[in-house]
């Protein structure tokens, strides 16, 4: 992949550079905080990196100097009032699936680590990509890191999802006139609504953190999947736990929501194959460190004779900031597209 120009402070909203394995999509839409003029004193929280680098400063990070006009609590209350008046929460990125967003209090919160697990072939990659796409479509800055596909293959999936067509038909060029028109319309619509798409870098979490620092602000980071971040094919549970802890630190330091997919290959060995917290392993690191844990369950994978193909449960097994439960989705396997059963056409 050609080196990025890290000297630039502004990224184009969405541009496609290169082709084939080197193709990657860049998008911005960054939110820049605006400070008011005439304040006698300001409250300085500092960057999250400096904050985490100096443990002694943590207890003082919200200390306000005497006579300051606006306290952190007042700022927080102002944000609460703004949301009550209809403004979008600035610290929350909508997943684009209304039922899930309602259960999570509006979406994925910046600073949170979200782990999405499911059986092999359950659609984890498709759902993670759909969340990145819908966030970018809502003008939120997002990046999608793939550990299994190059960016060109990811973009094929994007066209299949949004154009409602089969990838095989896209690759062979065997689209009828109506489908070709739908794919073309999707491509035009997505020109300004794409997340950045990249391969998972060789350096794992540390390399991703370095790339994010060059992007200044990123509201959502989606990583597919956890295995691509591990040091080797035969990594231990301790190494997996260390990676989970590093991802949580990344979310806090970069002030971004981090969503990572994780395979759960042992579900088929029991009667109830719905994922539970203990299935995520990693020496309990997911259970302890993740803020939100999602389990994907498609009953049709195991009992196709009942005519329930596509019916999907997305289970919220842990939610540090709210309740748990599940939402009903539908999976169009031929398009690799998930839809919310309560809002199917978005």
Q: What is the mean pLDDT of residues 317-328?
A: 95
d(CA 146, CA 143): 10
Q: What is the mean pLDDT of residues 94-100?
A: 96
Cβ atoms of residues 309 and 302 within 8 Å: no
- Structural domain of residue 134, as residue ranges? 94-340
d(CA 282, CA 65): 43
Query: What pLDDT is stored for residue 344 in this prediction?
Result: 66
Residue 172 is encoded by which pair of tokens?
A: 């062979």
d(CA 281, CA 260): 15
φ, ψ for residue 335 (rounded to 5)?
-105, -10
Q: Does 266 reside within a domain?
A: yes
φ, ψ for residue 296 (rounded to 5)?
-100, 130
Cβ atoms of residues 248 and 256 within 8 Å: no
Provide the angle, in degrees to the nearest 10, between the axes of the packed helices 124-137 and 151-163.
80
φ, ψ for residue 163 (rounded to 5)?
-90, -5
Q: Does 63 reside within a domain?
A: no
Q: What share of the chain is helix, strand, coil (3-state, %, to 5)?
A: 40, 20, 40
Per-residue pLDDT for 13 more than 50? no
Query: What pLDDT is stored for residue 24 in this prediction?
Result: 42
Return the closest-CA partner of residue 30 out of 99, 96, 110: 110
**Pairwise pLDDT comparison (93 vs 43), residue with the higher score:** 93
Residue 198 is encoded by which pair of tokens?
A: 């990249």
Report for 55-64, 210-219, 249-258: range of highest mean pLDDT: 249-258
d(CA 140, CA 19): 25
Per-residue pLDDT for 49 more than 50? no
Q: What is the DSSP string of 15-66?
A: EEES-GGG-EEEE-------PPS--SS------HHHHHH-GGGGGGTT---T
Length of the chain in terms of residues written: 346
Q: Does 84 reside within a domain?
A: no
Query: What pLDDT is stored for residue 26 in this prediction?
Result: 38
Q: Does 239 reside within a domain?
A: yes
Please list the residues that pair with 316 across neighbouring strands. 294, 325
Q: What is the mean pLDDT of residues 316-320?
A: 97
Q: What is the mean pLDDT of residues 74-79?
A: 73
Q: Does 117 reside within a domain?
A: yes
Query: What pLDDT is stored for residue 27 in this prediction?
Result: 38
Please list the residues that pair with 109 across neighbouring strands. 92
Q: Does 280 reside within a domain?
A: yes
Question: What's the mean per-residue pLDDT of the chain?
Answer: 81
Query: Scanning the structure block, which residue is given the tokens 């990344």?
Result: 250
Which range is least confidently modeled, 39-48, 127-136, 229-238, 249-258?
39-48
**Pairwise pLDDT comparison (120 vs 18), residue with the higher score:** 120
Q: Does 48 reside within a domain?
A: no
Can you tell me whether residue 269 is helix, strand or coil? helix
Cβ atoms of residues 126 and 331 within 8 Å: yes
The pLDDT tens digits of the residues spanning 103-154 come to 999 999 999 999 999 999 999 999 999 999 999 999 999 999 999 999 999 9
The pLDDT tens digits of the residues spanning 154-193 come to 999 999 999 999 999 999 999 999 999 999 999 999 998 9
CA 171 to chain centre: 27
Residue 319: other Cβ atoms inside 10 A: 19
Report for 77-91, 140-154, 302-316: range of highest mean pLDDT: 140-154
Number of domains composing the chain? 1
Q: Does 73 reside within a domain?
A: no
User: CA torsion angle for 267, 272, 275, 279 (degrees, to 10)?
Assistant: -50
* pLDDT class of 99 with cuts at 50, 70, 90: very high
**Pairwise pLDDT comparison (315 vs 91), residue with the higher score:** 315
Can you tell me whether residue 132 is helix, strand or coil? helix
Query: What pLDDT is stored for residue 239 in this prediction?
Result: 92
Query: What pLDDT is stored for residue 51 in this prediction?
Result: 40
d(CA 182, CA 27): 23
Give the domain CATH number at 247: 3.40.50.300
């Amino acid at each position: 992949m050609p080196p990025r120009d890290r000297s630039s402070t502004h990224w184009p909203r969405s541009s496609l550079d290169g082709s084939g394995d080197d193709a990657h999509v860049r998008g911005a839409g960054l939110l820049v905080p605006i400070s008011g003029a005439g304040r006698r004193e300001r409250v300085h929280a500092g960057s999250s990196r400096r904050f985490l680098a100096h443990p002694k400063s943590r207890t003082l990070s919200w200390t306000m100097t005497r006579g300051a006009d606006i306290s952190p609590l007042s700022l927080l209350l102002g944000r609460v009032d703004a949301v009550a008046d209809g403004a979008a929460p600035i610290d929350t990125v909508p997943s684009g699936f209304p039922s899930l967003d309602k259960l999570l209090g509006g979406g994925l919160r910046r600073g949170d680590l979200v782990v999405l697990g499911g059986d092999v072939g359950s659609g984890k990659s498709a759902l993670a990509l759909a969340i990145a796409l819908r966030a970018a479509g809502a003008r939120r800055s997002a990046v999608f890191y793939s550990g299994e596909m190059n960016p060109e293959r990811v973009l094929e999936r994007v066209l299949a999802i949004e154009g409602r067509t089969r990838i095989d038909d896209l690759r062979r060029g065997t689209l009828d006139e109506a489908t070709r028109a739908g794919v073309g319309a999707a491509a035009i619509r997505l020109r300004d609504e794409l997340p950045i798409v990249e391969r998972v870098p060789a350096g794992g979490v540390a390399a991703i953190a370095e790339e994010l620092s060059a992007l200044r602000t990123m509201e959502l980071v989606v990583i597919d999947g956890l295995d691509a971040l591990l040091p080797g094919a035969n990594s231990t549970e301790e190494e997996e736990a260390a990676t989970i802890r590093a991802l949580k630190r990344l979310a806090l330091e970069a002030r971004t929501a981090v969503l990572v997919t994780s395979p759960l290959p042992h579900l088929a060995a029991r009667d109830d194959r719905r994922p539970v917290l203990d299935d995520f392993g990693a020496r309990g690191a997911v259970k302890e460190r993740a803020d939100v844990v999602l389990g994907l369950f498609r009953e049709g994978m195991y009992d196709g004779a009942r005519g329930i193909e596509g019916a999907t449960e997305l289970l919220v097994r842990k939610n540090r900031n709210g309740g748990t439960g599940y939402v009903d989705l539908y999976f169009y396997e031929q398009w690799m597209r998930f839809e919310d059963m309560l809002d199917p056409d978005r």
